[in-house]
C-alpha cells in the first residue's frame, strides 16, 4: 500500500487540551521527566501523576460514588485510588509509533505541545523541554506569571501549518497570515477599515499559503 499523499486541510487544533490552563497543567507533569528516556514504564508514571493530581479524570471516576466525592476535595487521589482508576479505565486508543492503550493516549495528550515547540519526545529517546517549555514551567512560579503570555504568543507566532508532525499541503503561518491581511486591508481602506469579520475567519482556516 502506497504512502498517502499530503492534502490541503482546514486548520484544526486538538480539543484534548482545550485551553492554556489545561496545557500548562499537562505540561507541568511531563516537565518533571525532562531528560528521561521515554518508555512505556515512564508513560505509566506520567499517567499516574496526571490521574492522581486530577488533571486527567477518566469517566470511571464519575461513575463511582466514592471517587466522585473524592474528586471534589483539594487533595490528590491516594495511590490506591489512582491505581484503581487507571485499572478500570482501559484505553483502546492507537497512535502511530506508540503501543495501543495508555502509551497512545499519552501521545494524544502531548502531541499538540510538541507541535507548539514546548517539548520533544519519541519512544526510547530522552524527553526534551525546549526553552519555551522551560519558561512555561517557570510561569507557574510567583513573580513569573507574565511568561505564560510570552510563551503562547511566541508559539503561535512561529506555528507553521506544514510542520513535521502533520501530513498536510497547506504552507503558511496562520497568525502571521491573519495579521498581514489586516495590515494590508488597513492600507487599502484607511481609517474606515473596521477589521476582519468573524464570518471571514474560515477563509484563513482553509488558506493554502502565505
In this prediction, residue 138 carries a pLDDT of 95
200 and 141 fall within a common domain: no
Q: Which domain holds residue 188?
A: 160-210
Query: What is the tally of structural domains in the chain?
Result: 2
Express the helix, strand and coil content of the chain in percent, nearest 5 each.
Answer: 55, 5, 40
Q: Is residue 15 one of the residues assigned to a domain?
A: no
In this prediction, residue 206 carries a pLDDT of 87
Q: How far apart are CA 145 and CA 181, in angstroms?
A: 31
Is residue 108's pLDDT more than 90?
Answer: yes
In this prediction, residue 3 carries a pLDDT of 62
Cα distances from 134 to residues 27, 29, 111, 144, in angstroms, run 10, 12, 17, 12
Compute CA 73 distance to the chain's CA centroid, rounded to the nearest angstrom: 26
pLDDT band for 50, please (50, 70, 90 cuts): very high
Q: How far apart are CA 103 and CA 91, in angstroms?
A: 9
Other beta carbons within 10 angstroms of residue 198's beta carbon come to: 7
Question: Exposed, middle or buried, 127 (CB in 10 Å: 0-12/13-18/19+)?
Answer: buried
Mean of pLDDT values over 82-105: 96
Q: Is residue 164 one of the residues assigned to a domain?
A: yes
38 and 141 fall within a common domain: yes
48 and 151 fall within a common domain: yes
pLDDT band for 51, please (50, 70, 90 cuts): very high
Is residue 1's pLDDT more than 60?
Answer: no
Place of cell 466522585: 68
130 and 36 fall within a common domain: yes
Q: Which of 117, 134, 159 is the last residue of a domain?
A: 159
pLDDT band for 2, please (50, 70, 90 cuts): low
88 and 41 fall within a common domain: yes
176 and 153 fall within a common domain: no
Q: Is residue 1 one of the residues assigned to a domain?
A: no
pTM: 0.86
- Residues with Cβ within 8 Å of 135's Cβ and at least 6 positions away in sequence, in order, are 147, 150, 151
30 and 109 fall within a common domain: yes
Q: Is residue 13 one of the residues assigned to a domain?
A: no
Q: Is residue 29 one of the residues assigned to a domain?
A: yes
Q: In the predicted model, what is the mean pLDDT of the chain? A: 92
pLDDT, tens digit (0-9, with 9 covering 90-100), for 111-160: 999 999 999 999 999 999 999 999 999 998 999 999 999 999 999 999 88
84 and 174 fall within a common domain: no
In this prediction, residue 166 carries a pLDDT of 79
Q: Which residue has the higher pLDDT, 101 or 19?
A: 101
Q: Is residue 7 one of the residues assigned to a domain?
A: no
45 and 55 fall within a common domain: yes
153 and 81 fall within a common domain: yes
41 and 93 fall within a common domain: yes
Amino acid at each position: 500500500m502506497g504512502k498517502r499523499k499530503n492534502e490541503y486541510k482546514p486548520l484544526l487544533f486538538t480539543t484534548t487540551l482545550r485551553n492554556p490552563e489545561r496545557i500548562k497543567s499537562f505540561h507541568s507533569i511531563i516537565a518533571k521527566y525532562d531528560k528521561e528516556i521515554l518508555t512505556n514504564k515512564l508513560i505509566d508514571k506520567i499517567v499516574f501523576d496526571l490521574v492522581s493530581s486530577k488533571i486527567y479524570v477518566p469517566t470511571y471516576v464519575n461513575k463511582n460514588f466514592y471517587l466522585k466525592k473524592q474528586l471534589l476535595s483539594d487533595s490528590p487521589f491516594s495511590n490506591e485510588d489512582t491505581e484503581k482508576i487507571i485499572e478500570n479505565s482501559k484505553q483502546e486508543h492507537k497512535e502511530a509509533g506508540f503501543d495501543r492503550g495508555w502509551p497512545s493516549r499519552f501521545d494524544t495528550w502531548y502531541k499538540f505541545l510538541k507541535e507548539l515547540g514546548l517539548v520533544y519526545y519519541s519512544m526510547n529517546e530522552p524527553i526534551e523541554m525546549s526553552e519555551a517549555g522551560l519558561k512555561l514551567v517557570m510561569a507557574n512560579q510567583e513573580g513569573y506569571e507574565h511568561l505564560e503570555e510570552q510563551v503562547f504568543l511566541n508559539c503561535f507566532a512561529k506555528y507553521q501549518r506544514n510542520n513535521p508532525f502533520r501530513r498536510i499541503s497547506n504552507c503558511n503561518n496562520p497568525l502571521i497570515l491573519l495579521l498581514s491581511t489586516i495590515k494590508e486591508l488597513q492600507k487599502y481602506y484607511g481609517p474606515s477599515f473596521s477589521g476582519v469579520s468573524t464570518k471571514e475567519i474560515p477563509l484563513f482556516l482553509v488558506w493554502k499559503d502565505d
